[in-house]
Amino acid sequence: MICSACGKANSDSVSFCEFCGASMRASAAPAPAAVPTPAPAPTAADVAQMGKSFFNALSPGEKFAGAGVIAAVLGFFFPWISSPDLGALGGILGQLGSASELSHVSLNGVDVAKFVGATYLILLAAIAAGVLLYFSRTRPAPQKLLMAGFLVLIGSLCGPTIIVELLFIPMVQTVAGFGLWLLGLGYCAIAAGGLITISTVGKTAR
């Protein structure tokens, strides 16, 4: 029998190693480790419950801003420009070499971004507002106020400007598509939600 402590051979009848004195009794074999069972995939009911819990954790202002985030993101992909008459848009489309081929214009944020790449910043700003909302729901009041201030800043970058143009500039009214309205209203809702959150949290903190 080989001693597990010193590695020297002993006779089978001994209980202790003749060289180092270590016990020669066979230790009980360790119990096999339990094989972890994979967690079951979440069902539709589980996903719905998670969504409900997330929604309930938001304050009224955060819910308002969240609706604005959804509207702004969707508005980026809906038509910004939709007009049966090219009119003043002929010069812009002429740069793409397609003005003579089109009798109707429909451009969304992705189309505009093809020749003005900075347009994607509008979409990224809306996504950033959504990320802020996600993390702000569990933050203490000081951090929640700071994040709400960023929501007001993000919403103010585009929303009021777009809405003013849509309401008071006839040319924009003529060619504006549903996506542009949705984008402007979404960003205004983000700013308004941030202001509501600041007001609500400020009163609670007092």
Q: Residues 50-88: pLDDT tens digits? A: 777 777 878 889 899 999 999 999 999 999 987 665 554
Given pLDDT bands bounded at 50, 70 and 90, which one contains residue 96? very low
* Side-chain half-sphere exposure of 66, counting CA atoms within 13 A: 16
Q: Is residue 40 part of a domain?
A: no
Distance between CA atoms of residues 206 and 201, nearest Å: 9
CA 77 vs. chain centroid, Å, equals 17
Q: What is the pLDDT of residues 8-63, one digit of tens each?
A: 787 777 777 776 767 766 543 444 556 667 767 777 777 777 777 777 878 889 89
Q: Is the pLDDT of residue 195 over 60?
A: yes
Q: Is residue 64 part of a domain?
A: yes
Distance between CA atoms of residues 129 and 205, nearest Å: 23
Report the pLDDT value the prediction gives residue 99, as an integer from 0 to 100. Answer: 45
**CB atoms < 10 A from the CB of 86, how many?**
18
Query: Is there a contact between 174 and 87 (Cβ–Cβ < 8 Å)?
Result: yes
| pTM: predicted TM-score of the whole model, two decimal places | 0.70
We report the CATH number of the domain holding residue 177 as 1.20.140
Report the pLDDT value the prediction gives residue 104, as an integer from 0 to 100. Answer: 58
Q: What is the pLDDT of residues 127-163, one digit of tens each?
A: 999 999 988 888 888 899 999 999 999 999 889 999 9
* Side-chain half-sphere exposure of 9, counting CA atoms within 13 A: 1
β-bridge mates for residue 106, sequence order: 82
Q: Is residue 156 part of a domain?
A: yes
Q: Is residue 8 part of a domain?
A: no
Domain that holds residue 139: 59-205
The domain total for the chain is 1
Phi, psi of 205, deg, nearest 5: -65, -30
Which residues have CB under 8 Å from 89's CB, separation 6+?
81, 83, 99, 105, 175
Q: Is residue 27 part of a domain?
A: no
Distance between CA atoms of residues 202 and 118, nearest Å: 36
Q: Is the pLDDT of residue 125 over 80?
A: yes
Given pLDDT bands bounded at 50, 70 and 90, which one contains residue 122? very high
Mean pLDDT of the chain: 80
Q: Is residue 178 part of a domain?
A: yes
Q: What is the pLDDT of residues 111-121, one digit of tens each?
A: 888 888 899 99
